[in-house]
Structure 1
Amino acid sequence: MSEITLPTYQAVESALKEQGLASAPAELHGLLSGMICGGLSVDDDSWVGPVCDYANEGEPLTDGAKVMVRTLFSTTANELFSGGFEFSLLMPDDDEPLTVRADALTEWVNSFISGLGLMDLQKNQLSEAVTEALADLQDIAQLGIDEDDDMEEQAALFEQVVEHVRMCVLSCHSELGQRPAVEEPEEKLTLH
């Protein structure tokens, strides 16, 4: 099985700026992840409209922007559908200040919740596990870093929160995400 890897945060950030899209990499990845986890078809371009609205002020995407977002969308979908527990949040590198990474996590989580919201889910029909995951994500979206506290301790807590976000995402996807189309093998003729 080939390893699925997202583009780097810096590569996506550069591409977004180059294409003139008004979205941070964490926001865009969170939005796409939320839509996929909420049941958006991964077999077509139904992601284009919401991305245009969200990241391009309703304007159509340029060809370059569409290619870049399609790459991010497909690698995210592939990672979610891989069947394992490997799901990466598109976040700044670990060598970035903790406050920068925490802000990106907040952007990612808020955008993930927005992406789920775009899928018109009926709150009263969600399972207890998904309802709990969403409540946790809403709480996480309010978290911040206190620069007066022990930064090493906060860095360790931050890593735990990122891991919990990953588990919440996987929980949402396992219950709400659409399964990709599976091609049925052709029936083989048998000679009698």
Structure 2
Amino acid sequence: MSEITLPTYQAVEADLKEQGLAAMPAELHGLLSGMICGGLAVDDESWAGPVCDYANQGEPMTDGAKMMVRTLFTTTADELIGGGFEFSLLMPDDDEPLADRADALTEWVSSFISGLGLMDLQKNQLSEEITEVLADLQEISQLGIDEDDDLEDQAALFEQVVEHVRMCVLSCHSELGQRLINDDADEKPTVH
């Protein structure tokens, strides 16, 4: 199995600026991840319209911007579909200030929720587990860092929250992304 490598936060940030797209790397990655987890087809460019609306004021992207977003989309889809637990959130490096990393996480989570929302999922058809996952994510999107508290303790808690978000994303993809693939299959899943 080839190792999937997500571009660095700094590289995506530079590309977004160069291509004139109005989004932060965490926002764009969260949006793409949410759409994939919500069942968006990964073998076409159905991501392009929502990304244009979200990051380019509804205007078509330049070829360079489209290529950059396609790379991020493909890498993200490969991580999620790979079946392992290697999914990574596109976040600033650990040596960046904790407040910046926390802001990026809330942007990522908010955009992930938006990406899921674009997939027209019906709340009343979601499992109890996914409903709880979405409630957790909604709460996490409101979190912040209190600079008056012990930053070392907050850094440890932050890492736990990032891991929880990662597990929430994998749960969403497992149930919602795979559900659409399984619905199209002729085989019935094996019940254990």
Compute the TM-score of the two structures, normalised by the length of structure 2. Answer: 0.93
Q: 1:93-104 to 2 correspondence within 5 Å? A: 93-104=93-104
- Counting helix residues as a fraction of each chain, which structure ranks higher? 2
What pairs up with 1:7-156 in 2 under 5 angstroms? 7-156=7-156
User: Residue type matched to 2:58 in 1?
Assistant: G
Identity fraction in percent: 86
Letter aligned with residue 83 of structure 2: G
The equivalent of 1:185 in structure 2 is none
Shift of 1:87: 0.5
Alignment partners' CA distance in 1, 2:168 and 2:83: 15
Instruction: Name the aligned partner's letter for residue 170 of structure 1.
Output: L
SS at match of 2:34: helix
How far apart are 1:178 and its partner, in Å?
4.4
- The Cα of 1:5 is off from its aligned counterpart by 1.0
Report the Cα distance in structure 1 between the residues aligned to 2:122 and 2:166, rounded to whole angstroms. Answer: 22
Q: Distance in 2 between matches of 1:80 and 1:163?
A: 15
Change (3 A) 1:75 1:63: same
Kept in 1: contact 2:39–2:180 (CA 8 A): no
Q: Gaps (5+ residues) in structure 1? A: 182-192
CA offset digits 1:151-191 (Å, max 9, x no partner): 0000000000000000000000000014898xxxxxxxxxx
Structure possessing the higher radius of gyration over alpha carbons: 1
Report the number of matched residues: 181
Cα 1:176–1:124 change in 2 (3 A) is: same
